[in-house]
Amino acid sequence: MNYERARYNMIEQQLRTSEALSSAVIDLLYADQRENYVPDAYRALAFTDCSIPLSPTAAMLTPKLEARILQTADLKRSDRVLEIGAGSGHMAALLAERAQQVWTMEIDPALAEFARRNLANDGVANVTVEVGDGLAGLPASVANHAPFDFILVSGGVAEIPAALLAQLKVGGRLLAFVGESPVMTLRLVTRQTETAYGSTDLLETDVPLLQNAGPTERFSF
């Protein structure tokens, strides 16, 4: 398979026609080796507009969503980033191209190891993969790296956990897929003060729910 041609077609036919992407994001995506983060069985689909399975409950974000996240994040080289849901490590690698340091949390140990291996093979040195339930934030027991300039929740949640909002720097941004399948909202939250947050809904989509991220069960009488 000609990956360079497939990458070109993805950017020119899928992304330029659907997003107002900056030249910096386009350049990043041209240099990115997305195929190296895709399970072997699905490498032929690496640049298609589809959700590539990673496990029975996890999948890679589509190229369109990855591009929209990068555009919205608008990271600076000094930014410290937390990602919830490492998956294959690909989104963390993209974020790391623009940030100072990325911490990514993955609840599935096998996926965490897959992400570590992919990042190492790709020579990405400024991403740390941690195993754990990221919906509680990065534990201080790992290292007290909070607050973060940018937090990305790379899977669906019924609502944004307060623990993640608490780890956001004042002036920082958080992106999360909020709601229930088949319609979720990509929501941008900005921490305005120590106690105030603003939010904007960017688009509707559908992604797999993160483990432990479903709606709270209610008692029926």
What percent of the chain has pLDDT above 70?
95
Stretch 200-220: mean pLDDT, rounded?
Answer: 77
- Measure the CA–CA gap between 173 and 165, rounded to whole angstroms: 9
Place of tokens 């990068």: 70
The radius of gyration computed from the CA coordinates of the chain, to the nearest angstrom, equals 17
Per-residue model confidence as pLDDT tens digits over 136-184: 999 877 667 889 999 999 999 999 999 999 999 999 999 999 999 999 9
pLDDT at 218 over 70: no
Q: How far is CA 62 from CA 37, 48, 212, in A?
A: 13, 8, 22
Res 128 pLDDT > 60:
yes
| Residue 117 in this model has a pLDDT that exceeds 90 | yes
Could you report the per-residue pLDDT of 5-32, keeping only the tens digit for each?
999 999 999 898 767 689 999 999 999 9
Q: Which amino acid is at 121?
A: N
197-205: strand order across its sheet: 127-131, 101-106, 80-84, 148-157, 168-180, 183-191, 197-205
- What pLDDT score does 140 carry? 78
Which tokens in the block code for residue 181? 């399948």
Cα separation of 93 and 123, whole Å? 10
Question: Which tens digits make up the pLDDT trace of 38-87?
Answer: 999 999 999 999 999 999 999 999 999 999 999 999 999 999 999 999 99
The model's pLDDT over 182-194, given as tens digits with 9 standing for 90+, comes to: 999 999 999 999 9
| Domains in the chain with CATH codes | 51-62+72-205 (3.40.50.150)
Sign of the torsion formed by the C-alpha atoms of 144, 150, 154 and 157? positive
The confidence score (pLDDT) of residue 143 equals 63
The letter for the amino acid at 167 is Q
Pairing of β 127-131 and β 148-157: unpaired
Q: How far apart are CA 211 and CA 57, in angstroms?
A: 8
Cis-peptide into 63, omega within 30 deg: no
Q: Residue 20: what pLDDT?
A: 67
Distances (CA, A) of 39 to 58, 114, 119, 136, 161: 12, 9, 14, 28, 30
